[in-house]
C-alpha cells in the first residue's frame, strides 16, 4: 500500500530534525500539513498515523511549545528516533 501522506510527514519532520527547516517555518507549516494530511494518513495506515500523532504531535509538537529552540529540537529528535524505532522494528 502506498503511504504518500505518511511518507511526506515523516520526511518533513526529518528535514526539521536534520536542520534543513528552521523552527519558525516548522511551527507554521507542521500544523497546516497535519490538518491536510492526517485524515489521509489514517486511511493509509491507521496504526502508524496514531503512532505518529502520539510521538510527534502530542509528545513532540504540543509538549515542546514553551521550550527554547535548542531544547525543542532535542525533544523532537528524541521523539522522531522513538517513532522511527517503532516503524523500523516492524512493530506496525
Q: Where are the domains of the chain?
A: 4-88
Q: In the prediction, which pLDDT does 86 show?
A: 85
Contact 58, 69 (CB under 8 A): no
Q: How much is the pTM? A: 0.89
pLDDT at residue 30 is higher than 60: yes
What is the sign, positive or negative, of the torsion defined by CA atoms of 29, 34, 81, 90? negative
Give residue 33's pLDDT band: very low, low, confident or very high (50, 70, 90): very high
Q: What is the mean pLDDT of the chain?
A: 92
Amino acid at each position: 500500500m502506498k503511504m504518500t501522506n505518511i511518507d511526506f510527514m515523516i520526511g518533513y519532520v526529518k528535514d526539521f530534525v536534520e536542520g534543513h527547516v528552521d523552527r519558525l517555518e516548522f511551527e507554521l507549516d507542521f500544523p497546516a500539513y497535519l490538518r491536510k494530511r492526517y485524515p489521509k494518513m489514517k486511511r493509509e495506515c491507521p496504526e502508524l498515523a496514531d503512532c505518529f500523532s502520539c510521538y510527534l504531535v502530542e509528545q513532540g509538537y504540543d509538549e515542546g511549545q514553551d521550550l527554547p529552540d535548542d531544547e525543542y529540537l532535542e525533544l523532537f529528535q528524541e521523539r522522531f528516533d522513538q517513532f522511527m524505532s517503532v516503524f523500523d522494528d516492524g512493530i506496525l
